[in-house]
């Protein structure tokens, strides 16, 4: 899971209707579907969740207390570097490249996110997939919680 999922889950209901809908979908997914998957986060997710308002950060950290943490290792950094070097990901999206690389290197089936600008972006997915394949990895399915609601 990427940071936005936890942030939407633990956050106060947003006034923006789209964000509020995403928050509601995230909560529904968490309560009804997340137990059907083995969830993982990374050290990067933890770092990002600790930023900002201290009370909000504390709520976010409580959500992830029992979720295993994937290592941010040299193979992850190398794949993220390739995504940046091949200009698949913009320079300002280093953390997003790392989220993709962490899930990919650790062989996750899914990378669940609400970040549709640089991660769950259909226009970028093909290039990301090619770089991962060229480096010997299979890209996980990148999706939102809504896409994992079941049939």
Q: Report the alpha-carbon distance of residue 42 to residue 48 in Å, rounded.
A: 10
- The pLDDT value given to residue 100: 98
- pLDDT greater than 90 at residue 150: no
% residues pLDDT > 70 (the chain): 100
pLDDT score of 46: 97
- Whole-angstrom distance, CA of residue 130 vs CA of residue 42: 23
pLDDT digits (tens, 9 = 90+) for 38-84: 999 999 999 999 999 999 999 999 999 999 999 999 999 999 999 99
- Cα distance between residue 11 and residue 25, in whole Å: 13
Predicted confidence (pLDDT) at residue 151 exceeds the cutoff of 80: no
What's the chain's Rg over C-alpha atoms? 15
Q: Where are the domains of the chain?
A: 3-63, 71-148
What's the length of the chain?
A: 151
Q: What is the pLDDT of residues 8-51, one digit of tens each?
A: 999 999 999 999 999 999 999 999 999 999 999 999 999 999 99
Question: In the chain, where does DSSP find H-type helix?
Answer: 3-10, 17-32, 43-49, 54-63, 74-85, 94-105, 122-134
Read off the tokens for 21. 């809908």
Give the H or E element holding residue 143.
strand 141-143
101-128 tens-digit pLDDT: 999 999 999 999 999 999 999 999 999 9
């Amino acid at each position: 899971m990427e940071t936005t999922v936890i942030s939407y889950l633990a956050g106060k209901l947003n006034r923006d209707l789209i964000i509020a809908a995403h928050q509601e979908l995230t909560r529904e997914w968490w309560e009804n579907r997340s137990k059907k998957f083995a969830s993982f986060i990374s050290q990067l997710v933890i770092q990002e969740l600790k930023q900002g308002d201290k009370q909000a950060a504390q709520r976010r950290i409580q959500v992830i207390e029992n979720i295993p943490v994937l290592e941010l290792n040299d193979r992850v950094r190398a794949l993220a570097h390739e995504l940046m070097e091949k200009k698949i990901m913009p320079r300002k999206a280093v953390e997003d490249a790392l989220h993709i690389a962490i899930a990919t290197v650790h062989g996750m089936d899914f990378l669940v996110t609400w970040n549709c600008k640089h991660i769950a972006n259909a226009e970028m997915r093909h290039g990301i997939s090619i770089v991962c394949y060229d480096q010997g990895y299979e890209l996980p399915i990148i999706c939102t919680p809504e896409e994992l609601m079941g049939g």
